[in-house]
Amino acid sequence: MSLRIGDDAPNFKARTTEGEIDFHQWLGNSWGILYSHPADYTPVCTTELGRTAQLKEDFAKRKTKVLAVSVDDLDSHYGWVKDINETQNCNVDFPIIADNDKNVATLYNMIHPNASTSATVRSVYFISPDKKVQAIITYPASTGRNFSEILRVVDSLKLTAEHNVATPVDWEDGQDVIIPPGVRQEDVEAKYPKGHRVIKPYLRYTPQPNK
């Protein structure tokens, strides 16, 4: 059975390049990103893991931990990390799970038989501190992920979890947000003291509340 938004994020114990972890314990009170790679020593994944390492401070300021998973073993991972550091000019110091038995891949429905019976698709799971799946993005093995979009989704998820707003198309941190339709117009001024503008009764904007 596949995971859906709002489901509990399954816990697991695993061996990683940073030691053994219990996923929920490792995540603690942070937001988390769990993302899969079809195999070690693959070109697209090499660029993605390098980009993740380069964005270390961006994830840290969002209090978001990143955890990668590949179905190869630890020895393979260690060798691959050396290649990633060399070719991507970075320092990979976040955990990469050795998922030889495909336990994590199975728990998180990362193997899609119509695409491949052995390799994982390029899935990204966004997990909140209460260990719920809040968003899922899945790409085929041939398409590299856009990490600007991944950071943007984290920003939106954190904002909308803390404030009763929604983020419009192409929204970026600092821009106006949308007042949900469920908020009555007579309550808007009290709930959104920074002001608002009405385009249509169902389309109302307000400045981002935490800026």
The set of catalytic residues is 45
CA distance 189 to 121: 46
- Taking only Cα atoms into account, the Rg of the chain, rounded to an integer number of angstroms, comes to 19
Residue keyed to tokens 């969002």: 62
Torsion, CA 165, CA 150, CA 16, CA 39, rounded to 10: 140
CA distance 56 to 66: 9
Amino acid at 169: V
Cβ atoms of 99 and 62 closer than 8 Å: no
Amino acid at 77: H
